[in-house]
Homo-oligomer: A and B are copies of this chain.
Amino acid sequence: MKALGNWPRRALLAASFTVLLAMPTFAEQAPVPTSPVSEFTLGNGMQVVVVPDHRSPIVTHMVWYKVGSADEPPGKSGIAHFFEHLMFKATGNHAAGELDKAVADIGGNDNAFTSYDYTAFHETVPPQALSQMMAFEAARMRNLVLSDEVVATERDVVLEERRMRIDNDPQAQLDEAVLATLFMNQPYRIPVIGWMQEMQQLNRVDAKAFYDRYYAPNNAVLIVAGDVEAEAVRKLAEESFGKIPRGPDLPPRIRPKEPQKTTRRTVTLSDARVSVPSFSMQWVVPSYNTAKPGEAEAIDLLGEILGGGTRSRLYQELIVKKGIAASVNAGFQGRALDDSVFAVYATPRGEAKLADVEAAVGAEIERIARDGISAEELDRAKARYVRSMIFARDRQDSMANIYGSTLTTGGTVTDINEWPDRVRKVTAEEVKAAAARYLVLDRVVTGYLLPKTQAEN
């Protein structure tokens, strides 16, 4: 039971894409750092990005590995997230729990998360503790002790995590089934936490193979944001991470792609624990890494115009005018190595019929695809992004996250710098074209979460 105490700390980022939609991801897309960002590479291939932020004596130290659940071998789902857990165990240099204790002793915090495309470990501490944090991260990058016992114990922890977070939660179950349906071929169809029957089989041999392949300086990105200067970070990084030998050269991360879709699909979960019905409509769309220039920016603005805030089309039409929805939102998870997801979520209000809400969402989407958007709508959507940049600027950890998630999904620091300009250049025609091309109702996957009684119809 003691081991179980750990589990909520090892967060599972993006158990589904829908989780991300609920987070302020848009607000995190475009930081404006307070002084120039530095970027360099250590001799062993480890990328380093330093984002100075001198407003308070804090640093955010993150090690991002370019490996996530979508890189797992067939039949080994869950190993990436499982390995994230194992990284908190003993190393040749430190006992298990020593890092957590050291961070707690200085009043900082540390955690980790796993997604489809990356796994990240981070600490927020005073600048004086930076070299200590690097020593901890460097130790577990290559010096982890993987015994059968450690592996078996932690496997029970992640199995319990799956039971609690997915199997006990009808919405999470549905989200998992929707993604497994939406993606016919791409590995994003497999849940980050893994399929139960495969998680149960994970063992020390799998863990060791995964560690030796992916946990190496040339497959990692170090992000340090906060009250430090680049030269100091470089010196510390060379003394710690720099001493780790380069790992194997990995092939390009080329994964199976989606086939062209020709059908409309639904996924329905009926559960006695559901009191209010809801639904989502989801499509596969290009990500920032797979889109043509400007296309992902247009899809981001489309999400904003459709479902971003109270002045969005769906809010105005479904909640204000028709009064048939209690909530509605739309969004795009653009930071992904492969094609990603555009989703609309809605909940009927009172006695309103789910089918009517769904039809109203479809009508708004078709209206944009057919008639386009106004200049005023476009300007307002862009303006919201500008505001979001200002908010992001205020959060050191969100700034660090943007750099980490971009650099591990095919992007560059330049992409981040130029992103605001690229958003400003999007035309109304491009937003219309994105809606027409990608949000096709004949190829949507709709997920329904229904009370058990409603399902009996």
B190 near A263: Cβ-Cβ < 8 Å: no
A418 at the interface (CB under 8 A from B): no
A255 near B75: Cβ-Cβ < 8 Å: yes
Which residues of chain B are within 8 angstroms of A177 by Cβ–Cβ distance? 184, 261-263, 265
1/0 contact trace for A247-274 toward B, CB 8 Å? Answer: 0000000111101111111111110000
Instruction: Find A265's partner among B189, B260, B268, B270 (CB 8 Å cutoff).
Output: B268
B75 near A196: Cβ-Cβ < 8 Å: no
A75 near B263: Cβ-Cβ < 8 Å: no
A259 near B181: Cβ-Cβ < 8 Å: no
Which residues of chain B are within 8 angstroms of A153 by Cβ–Cβ distance? none
Which residues of chain B are within 8 angstroms of A197 by Cβ–Cβ distance? 257, 259-260
Which residues of chain B are within 8 angstroms of A442 by Cβ–Cβ distance? 270, 455
Cα of A173 to Cα of B75 in the assembled complex, Å: 27
Interface size class of A (residues with CB under 8 A): 20 to 34
Cα of A366 to Cα of B184 in the assembled complex, Å: 30
Which residues of chain B are within 8 angstroms of A196 by Cβ–Cβ distance? 259-260
A8 at the interface (CB under 8 A from B): no
Q: List 21 A-B contacts (CB under 8 A).
A: A74-B255, A75-B254, A75-B255, A75-B257, A77-B256, A174-B262, A174-B263, A177-B261, A177-B265, A180-B259, A181-B184, A185-B195, A195-B257, A196-B259, A196-B260, A197-B257, A263-B268, A263-B269, A264-B269, A264-B270, A265-B266
A415 at the interface (CB under 8 A from B): no
**Given contact pairs A75-B256, A198-B256, A265 touches B184 in the complex (Cβ within 8 A):** no
Which residues of chain B are within 8 angstroms of A198 by Cβ–Cβ distance? 256-257
B184 near A189: Cβ-Cβ < 8 Å: yes
Cα of A265 to Cα of B445 in the assembled complex, Å: 10
**Which 6 residue pairs are nearest across A and B when measured between Cβ atoms?**
A195-B259, A177-B263, A180-B184, A75-B256, A266-B266, A264-B268
Which residues of chain B are within 8 angstroms of A268 by Cβ–Cβ distance? 263-265
B74 near A265: Cβ-Cβ < 8 Å: no
16 other contacts beyond A75-B254, A177-B263, with CB at 8 A cut-off? A74-B255, A174-B263, A180-B185, A180-B259, A181-B181, A181-B265, A184-B189, A185-B195, A195-B256, A195-B257, A196-B259, A197-B259, A198-B256, A265-B266, A266-B266, A270-B442
Cα of A264 to Cα of B442 in the assembled complex, Å: 19
**Given contact pairs A184-B180, A256-B74, A265 touches B265 in the complex (Cβ within 8 A):** yes
By CB atoms of chain B within 10 A, which of A190, A261, A267 has the most? A267
Which residues of chain B are within 8 angstroms of A184 by Cβ–Cβ distance? 177, 180-181, 189
Give the number of times this chain occurs in the complex, counting copies: 2
Which residues of chain B are within 8 angstroms of A455 by Cβ–Cβ distance? 442
Cα of A268 to Cα of B444 in the assembled complex, Å: 10
Of chain B, the residue at the smallest CB distance from A185 is B195
Which residues of chain B are within 8 angstroms of A181 by Cβ–Cβ distance? 181, 184, 265
By CB atoms of chain B within 10 A, which of A195, A254, A265 has the most? A265
Cα of A255 to Cα of B264 in the assembled complex, Å: 28
Cα of A177 to Cα of B269 in the assembled complex, Å: 20
From 330 to 345 in chain A, residues with beta carbon under 8 angstroms from any chain B beta carbon are: none
Cα of A260 to Cα of B189 in the assembled complex, Å: 15
Cα of A259 to Cα of B196 in the assembled complex, Å: 7
Instruction: With both chains docked as a complex, state the minimum distance between the C-beta of A398 and any C-beta of chain B, in angstroms.
Output: 34
Which residues of chain B are within 8 angstroms of A74 by Cβ–Cβ distance? 74, 255-256
Cα of A455 to Cα of B362 in the assembled complex, Å: 14
Instruction: With both chains docked as a complex, state the minimum distance between the C-beta of A442 and any C-beta of chain B, in angstroms.
Output: 7
Cα of A340 to Cα of B77 in the assembled complex, Å: 21
From 162 to 183 in chain A, residues with beta carbon under 8 angstroms from any chain B beta carbon are: 173-174, 177, 180-181
Of chain B, the residue at the smallest CB distance from A441 is B455
Instruction: With both chains docked as a complex, state the minimum distance between the C-beta of A190 and any C-beta of chain B, in angstroms.
Output: 7
Which residues of chain B are within 8 angstroms of A261 by Cβ–Cβ distance? 177
Which residues of chain B are within 8 angstroms of A265 by Cβ–Cβ distance? 177, 181, 265-268
By CB atoms of chain B within 10 A, which of A181, A257, A263, A267 has the most? A263
Instruction: Find A263's partner among B254, B255, B259, B267 (CB 8 Å cutoff).
Output: B267
Instruction: With both chains docked as a complex, state the minimum distance between the C-beta of A359 and any C-beta of chain B, in angstroms.
Output: 11
Of chain B, the residue at the smallest CB distance from A265 is B267
A263 near B173: Cβ-Cβ < 8 Å: yes
Instruction: With both chains docked as a complex, state the minimum distance between the C-beta of A446 and any C-beta of chain B, in angstroms.
Output: 9
Cα of A266 to Cα of B197 in the assembled complex, Å: 25
